[in-house]
Structure formats: structure tokens, C-alpha cells
Amino acid sequence: MKKLMEGSEAMAEAAIAAGCRFFAGYPMTPFTELLEHFARRMPEVGGVCINAESELEAVGMAWGALATGARAATGSTGQGLSLMQESFSEITLAELPLVIFNMARGQQDYYQSTRGGGHGDYRHIVLAPADLAEAIELTQLAFHLADTWRNPVLVYGDYLTAHIQEAVEVDPLELGPVADKDWALDGSLGGTGRSRIISPLGFAKTGRRSPGIEQHLRTMTDKSRQIEAAEVRVEVGHVDDAQTVIVAFGTPGKFVRYVVNQLRADGERIGFVRPITLWPYPTDAVAAAAEGARTVGVFELCAGQMIDDVRLSVLGRAPVVGIGGISTDGSGFGVGPLLDAEIIRDRILALHRGETMPPLPDNERLEV
Amino acid sequence: MKLVGQAKPDLLLSQEHHMCPGCGEPMALRGYLEAISELGLTQRTIAVHGIGCYTSFSMTTDLDLVQALHGRAPSVATGIKRMRPDAIVFTLQGDGDMVNEGLQEVLHTAARGENITCVLLNNGVFGETGGHMTATTVLGQRTKNSLDGRDANYHGYPILIGDLIARLQGAAYVARGSVHNAAGFARTKRMFKRAFETQVRGEGFSFVEVLTMCPTGWFIPTTEGPSYMNETLGEVHIMGELKVDGVIRTTDELHEENIRKAAEIEAALARGGVDA
Ligand code: SF4
């Protein structure tokens, strides 16, 4: 049965439905409500939610919980995730299936999510839902993919994902089996000569074959290539004969889809590409859409980050133009006036018709 | 007769190590591994190691183990313990790892009364990088970045971490031992046992700090390690049980006990031996 739920609640419920039993986080707008829901719900389902003393502790605790084989997650906004980056790198190299929620302030964390703010050659699978129904699905998928690949997965939400209320249903998804976690620690093998180690450094216990750090890092890179080949997800609309293609993800992707559908109904030859996985990036879908297009527009709520991946996909087939920009409310946490169907429509049409791009709308600043 | 140096704890996969001659860390390792075996906790223990010279024990220790980042072991151990409350979970960190990089982690973990045991190997120096000042380096101690000795006006004062942790309500058992002689080793091993027993009983956070020799990082001959340790670090980081059953003991009480114990050992040696 559908129930009116806030996005944060829906995502927490989806995580619990997926078997997540450990969460640790530190309050920060607009992530706070997700932590609140986990704090309330985890004890009811036999899980644990710790209000960590900082983001550093939160990610460390999740690391420990994962090492026992539990499904575990942490999260924050991009600012808080900046603090966790060192651990993200190492958790990835230790092949632990962490799920991370970024309830981002706008789309300023595209680089952070897809390039990683941490050290080394690691990659995180990044899932970007456009609405709550998709957020529920992708949250569950996140735990499944994390276990499948033994690689962290980040769910990229935002202020609207976290706070919007929709009538939704959280049904546990049947996503297929994942391998037994024979690497998980329970302490039972001490003194048997078969004790286990979870290490980011490519170490094995004495007497066992150790890959060594170089081979370990190469194996991790090979895994990234396999994920790139297997896990791309994308929604594409009206691109076959499109003269203008708009690329957008997450909540802005939902707005762009709505506007492009309207413009199509008006007879404009415009299409859209909405990456659902930000890594691996839907390079082929963007390239195919750009084939024969006059222009590719990128609508994102930041100064222009995903546009790099669009350009790397389009590879000169068409000019790539940023039509989004920085837009926040007065607090800097929420949604700015640019996320508005009329304004987005005007910008897409300006690009499509080769007219001057309207100036970015300003928010009404809070009087301080 | 089996020599001390030939004794191999059950929980070691190999006796080989790459520590410097005279290093105190392998002695501390032996102490807690023997304590775990003797308490019958072998097949329910999970270790979390930080980053330092002792990280090489990660491969040779025959326990389920997580290799953590520098400074972060107590949080990792927290996550393990919360999901496996029946496991005995302990961390191994050096002073650079715990008191410099990860001070807040160990303090928060202790304050939370997390039912784990944290082990600190304190030699007052970053051994692995070649002898640099840490937060526990004592005043006057020469390191590569306090060449004329640690100066309070320039470098600040050392942190007496055991004393600090003892003040936290969540800490149930706090002790500071050493491995500079056989008696110190035996006493430290008893501390390990009490700490693990505290955890088995679910009484809260337990902490054992061990003063260990680092002749390499102290720039002294190997044979002078034990006496240097006793006279420099040992004079500031006072050895003894700092908190037992939740009751804090004063530095004066520890001093008195240490003097009494030293006298007992002298007497026992005069009689012909000490039973470790
Ligand atoms: S540098 Fe110091 S702590 Fe490291 S192995 Fe050598 S003596 Fe031991």
C-alpha cells in the first residue's frame, strides 16, 4: 500500500528493506532527516544506528560493521563526505561493500562523487535517482551492487530528494543472489592458522599467498573496468532525430525530462539523456544521442562539473554548452530559483534556437 | 630450559619479524597474545591494527583482523563490536596513531563506554618515520624534529593519555605497563588479562598503555633502551593501574605502589628469582 512519505524516510525504509542493519552519521542539512529516521528505525529492526561524534568516526564505524559482513551505510552532505574521503579510498581498496548517501547541497559534489576526493585510483558506483520511487529502487540496488562487486556505492540525492513528500511504497526488491561473505570476520578462526585479514594494502596472513600492493591495485583497476562494462544505467528520451540534446541527472534530470516532453509535444526536435549511474558514466548513450545533433546542452546545478563527462562522451561530435549554473536558496542548503520548469524551458529553447541565454535568476536573499 | 626469546605464543603464525633489535613492541605483542590464549578467548577475538612499525604484526597474528587507517582503529572496532557483541574486540595503536592522529577517536570511544579494549604501544616517538616527536614525547626528549629536546615553550607539553582516559566516565579499566624488564612484562600481561576480563564482563571501555623501547627512534645503543625508557618516559608516564572498577587512582598512589613493587622484586631477586 502506498503511503505519504518524506524522501529521507523512504530511503531509510528502502535501506532497511535491503537488509541494512548498521548506520552511523553526523547531522548536517539536508542529510539530517535521513539520520533521524535511521536512529528511530534501526533499534526496531534489530539494527544499530550511532550518532557518531564526527564524520570521521561515522565512516570508521561503518568500516568495522562491514568487516563483520553486515550491510552497513553512512552518509552526509558533500561537506561531511569531504571529511570521510581518506576512509572511502581505503575501504574501497579493502573491498568492503559500503553504501554512502549524499544528500547534497545542489549538484556541487559531482566531481567528489565520481572522481573521488580521496587518494588513489579507486572508483565508487554512483546512483542518482530523479524521484522518490527511483530513490527507493536505487537505494536497494546500492546494497546489492555493493555486495556484488565488493565496492562502495554512493546514492546521490539532494535537498528535494530528502524532503519532498510523495505517496510511495517500499517493497523489497528481488535482485538476485550475491556471493557468500566468506571474508567476513567473526573471530572464530583465531589460532587455527586460517584466520582472516581485511586490509586495503594487499596483505595476506603469513604463509598465505599475498598479492602485494602493486598487484592488488591492478586487480582493483581491473574490477573498475568490469563495472564500467556491466553497470551503466541511463534513461534516454526523443534523441533519435533530436537537433538539441539536454543532459541532466538527479532531481534536475526530472525537471528536464518534464520540459523536454512538453517541448516535443509542441513539435520541437529536442531530446534528453538522464544518466542514472554517474559512474560508470553512460558514455555510449550520450555519444549516440549527440550523433546528428546540432548542440548538446548540460543542465546541472553547479558551475559545470558533469559537463566534463559529456564532452568526453561527445568527443567533438557537437558543441557542448552548459545551460545550468549555481543556484541556491538564501541558506545555501536548499533549492534555488533555477530549478523551475518555466526557467529551464526558456534556457533549453534559447539553446535550441541559437538565441542569447537568459541570465541566471537570483534568489531573494535572506536579510541578515 | 626454554629461553624467553624462544617462547612462541600460540597466536603467532611466525616468529620472524622485521623490528629493530631492542624494540619493545614484540614483547607487548607477546603479552597480549598470551593473555588472549590463557583466557580462552582465541576463537572469539577480532583485532584492529593501526599504522606504525607494529603493522607488520598484522600478517603474523593468527586472529581475525582488520587493518585500519592511522588514527581510526577505535571507530572501526566500535562498528565490529556493535555488530558482533559476543566477540572480544581490541585495537593496537602506537602513540603517533592514537594520541596524535586519532586522539578524538579514542576519547570518544572511551567516553561512550564502548565495550572494547584499546592497546597503546607508547614509545614517545614516531619510530616508523625515523624518530620524530609525537604528542607523548616527554620534555627534554630529543627527536628528529625536536633536536635540542622537547621544549614546553616551543613544542608544548606531552599528553598523558592514560590519565586523560581514566577521567572519562565510560572507561572501566585503565592501566599503564612497560616491557623494559621481566617484572614489567609480567605486570603488563596481568593488565592485559584484566582489561580483556573487563570486556568479557561487559563493564565498558578498557585501556592498556604499554611503554615500549625504541632505541632506533631514541638514537641510543640497543642495550640502553630499557634504562632510558624507565628514566625518561617512565618518570612522566607513571606506570600502574590508573583506574580499576571505575575508581581512579592518584599519581601518588601509583608512585608508592611502584616503589613497593621495586623493593619486592629486589628482595625476590636476592632470594634467587622472580616468578613471572
Ligand atoms: S623504529 Fe622503534 S618502534 Fe620501530 S621497530 Fe625500530 S625500535 Fe621498534
- Is residue B3 scored above 80 in pLDDT? no
Domain assignment present for A182: no
A chain contacts of residue B34, beta-carbon cutoff 8 Å? none
Whether residues B58 and A203 touch (CB distance < 8 A) is answered with yes
Among A151, A168, A185, the domain boundary falls at A168
Element (H, E) at B241: strand B240-244
Among A112, A138, A168, the domain boundary falls at A168
Say which of A61, A200, A205 has its CB closest to residue B78. Answer: A61
pLDDT at residue B172 in the model: 98
Tens-digit pLDDT profile for residues A286-321: 999 999 999 999 999 999 999 999 999 999 999 999
Ligand 1 centre to CA of B135 (Å) is: 17
Q: Name which residue sits closest to atom 8 of ligand 1, judged by CA.
A: B23
Domain assignment present for A181: no
Substitution site in B51, B60, B213, B214 for ligand 1 pocket (most atoms within 8 Å of beta carbon): B214
A129/A7 same-domain check: yes
Backbone CA torsion sign across A177, A182, A187, A192: positive
Q: Which amino acid is at A227?
A: I
C-alpha closest to that of B89 among B111, B108, B74, B110: B74
Whether residues A195 and B42 touch (CB distance < 8 A) is answered with no
Domain assignment present for A145: yes
Q: Name which residue sits closest to atom 6 of ligand 1, judged by CA.
A: B20
Tens-digit pLDDT profile for residues B184-195: 999 999 999 999
CA distance A215 to chain B (A): 17
**Test the A interface: residue of B84, B97, B109 with most A CBs within 10 Å:** B84
A13/A161 same-domain check: yes
CA distance B83 to chain A (A): 6
Instruction: Kindly state the average pLDDT of the residues B160-176.
Output: 97
Say which of A57, A185, A203 has its CB closest to residue B108. Answer: A57
- Is residue B2 scored above 70 in pLDDT? no
Contact A10, A168 (CB under 8 A): yes
Domain assignment present for A23: yes
- With H, G, I as helix, E, B as strand and everything else as coil, classify residue B93: strand
CATH code, domain with A50: 3.40.50.970
Flag whether the pTM goes above 0.90.
yes
Domain assignment present for A187: no
Whether residues B76 and A60 touch (CB distance < 8 A) is answered with yes
Beta pairing class for A125-127 and B88-94: unpaired
- Is residue B273 scored above 80 in pLDDT? no
A132/A250 same-domain check: no
Q: Name which residue sits closest to atom 5 of ligand 1, judged by CA.
A: B19
Ligand 1 centre to CA of B48 (Å) is: 20
Residue B168 in grid coordinates: 572519562
The domain ranges of chain B are: 25-271
Which CATH superfamily, name and number, covers B25-271? Answer: Thiamin diphosphate (ThDP)-binding fold, Pyr/PP domains (3.40.50.970)
Domain assignment present for A209: no
pLDDT at residue B274 in the model: 62
C-alpha closest to that of B78 among B63, B60, B91, B95: B91
A133/A260 same-domain check: no
Domain assignment present for A201: no
Q: Could you read off the pLDDT tens digit of each residue along chain A, which spans 368 residues?
A: 899 999 999 999 999 999 999 999 999 999 999 999 999 999 999 999 999 999 999 999 999 999 999 999 999 999 999 999 999 999 999 999 999 999 999 899 999 999 978 999 999 999 999 999 999 999 999 999 999 999 999 999 999 999 999 999 999 999 999 999 999 999 999 999 999 999 999 889 999 988 889 999 999 999 999 999 999 999 999 999 999 999 999 999 999 999 999 999 999 999 999 999 999 999 999 999 999 999 999 999 999 999 999 999 999 999 999 999 999 988 888 889 999 999 999 999 999 999 999 999 988 765 55
Q: Which residue of B has its CA nearest to A207?
A: B13
**Total structural domains in chain A?**
2
C-alpha closest to that of B186 among B228, B140, B239: B239
A26/A134 same-domain check: yes
Among A131, A152, A168, the domain boundary falls at A168
Domain assignment present for A115: yes
Backbone CA torsion sign across A346, A350, A355, A356: positive
A333/A244 same-domain check: yes
CA distance A291 to chain B (A): 47
A14/A118 same-domain check: yes
ipTM: 0.95
CATH code, domain with A239: 3.40.50.920
A32/A147 same-domain check: yes
- Rounded to 5 degrees, φ, ψ at A120 are 90, -175
* Residues belonging to chain B with any Cβ–Cβ distance to chain A shorter than 8 Å: 10-11, 13-14, 16, 36-37, 42-46, 48, 58-69, 72, 74-84, 87-88, 104-105, 108
A283: containing domain: 234-353
